[in-house]
Structures are given as structure tokens and as C-alpha cells.
Amino acid sequence: MAHAESGRRLVDLSLYAAVRSWAASLRFLGQLLLILSPMAVVAFYLDRPLAQHFKPLFGGPFHLLAIRVTELGKADIYFGLAGLGFVLGLALRRRFLRNQSVYALAALTLSGFLVQVLKHLVGRQRPYADLHLEATRFDFVNSNYEWHSLPSGHSQVAFTVAATMVLLGPKQRVWQWSWFVLAAIIAMTRVVTLNHWLSDTLIGAFVGVLGTVVAFRLVKLER
């Protein structure tokens, strides 16, 4: 009985369960927020030491590799792929492909909108623009790109794609975890390249999953 109850709890914590109802979505997001909140607090204290560690590495092989990998977090790549899938679904009359593309576009659009609103409202200075790497410089309601550090947009995109692939892709656990590991690597490159503080990436990851879960609840298509 205890084993069965434990199994049900694990299901309740999954993305699959989260998108079944609004109550399940709120429960999942609340639990995720409880997990990430203390991590974000710890990350805030690590922001400055990490930036100070990576700054001297600028121009080196590790930094150059991070610059290449971080390109995988650009939203236009995935909007393009989802848009192509939608067009192909229409042209080939493949409802499954068309619908999958709609879910992906909805998740990217909603999470992207949320992250941009937060960026403009919070106004945190990016590490590369912070000469003393203080990690505490904020200017609320700011339209300057150099003050759009929190949350990380690349991290949001990476985790939106990861959550979407978990919901729409193969059900094997190894593939599902692989998407989130890749998303975490992309998020970390934002710290290495001094585009974001570590805490920015955690908040960006949460926004990415949040936007995906809400988008899947809002969009109702036959799958």
C-alpha cells in the first residue's frame, strides 16, 4: 500500500499529471517553486563568486565553447522548427504534427512573454555590464538590454523546449532526463559567458516550465 501511494505521489509530481487539470498544474508548480526557491537563494550568494571565477577565462577555449553552446538557447531556432512543423502538418494533412507544433508554439510564446515582462520589471544589471561584479544592481522598470539579466531568456527557452519534449516526445525516462540535462548545460553557458548570474538561470528555468504547463492547459487539441 505504501509503495502504491509513493508511486501515485511520483505521478502527481510529473509533468504529465501537471497538465491534466488546473488543480494539478497549480500543485505541480507550487511544489516546483518550493524546490527552486531555496536553490535560488543559495544561487544568489554564488552569483558574484562564479562571475569572478569565469571572468578571467574570457577568450580561452572553455569560454569560446560556451559561446557556441549558448546559441542553442535562442528562441528563433525553436520558433522556426515549430512553425515549419505546423506548415508541414497543414500541407501533408497530418493533424498530429500540426497539433504538436501548436503546443510547442504556445509554450514558447507564453513563457517568452512572461520572461520579457519580468526582465523589464525587475531591471537587474547583467554581469558583463557590472564593472565590480556586485550582482546586486537593480533598476526597476527598465528597457535597457544591459539591465535585463533576470530572468535568463536562454534558460527559459531551453527549459520550455525540454518540458515540451517531455510532454510530446518519447516516454523513456532516459530521454526525458536528457532534455533537462541539455537545458541545464545551456543555462550554465549563460553564466560562463557573463550574460547572466546563476540565480537568473534558475528563475528562467522555472518560467520556462511554468509557461509550458500553462500553455498545455490553455490549448485544447486532439492529440
Q: Is the pLDDT of residue 35 over 60?
A: yes
Q: Determine the pLDDT at residue 2.
A: 42
Distance of alpha carbon 101 from alpha carbon 97, whole angstroms? 6
**C-alpha cell recorded at residue 28:** 505541480
Distance of alpha carbon 40 from alpha carbon 76, whole angstroms? 27
Cis peptide before 151, with omega less than 30 degrees from 0? yes
Distance of alpha carbon 28 from alpha carbon 106, whole angstroms? 19
Q: Determine the pLDDT at residue 223.
A: 53
163-170 mean pLDDT:
93
Q: Determine the pLDDT at residue 175.
A: 87
**C-alpha cell recorded at residue 149:** 539579466
Q: Which residue has the higher pLDDT, 172 or 159?
A: 159
Q: Is the pLDDT of residue 10 over 60?
A: no
What pLDDT band is residue 176 in, cutting at 50, 70 and 90? confident
Residue range 36-218, CATH number: 1.20.144.10
Chain centre distance of CA 185? 11
Return the domain boundaries, the chain.
Answer: 36-218
Q: Determine the pLDDT at residue 58.
A: 92
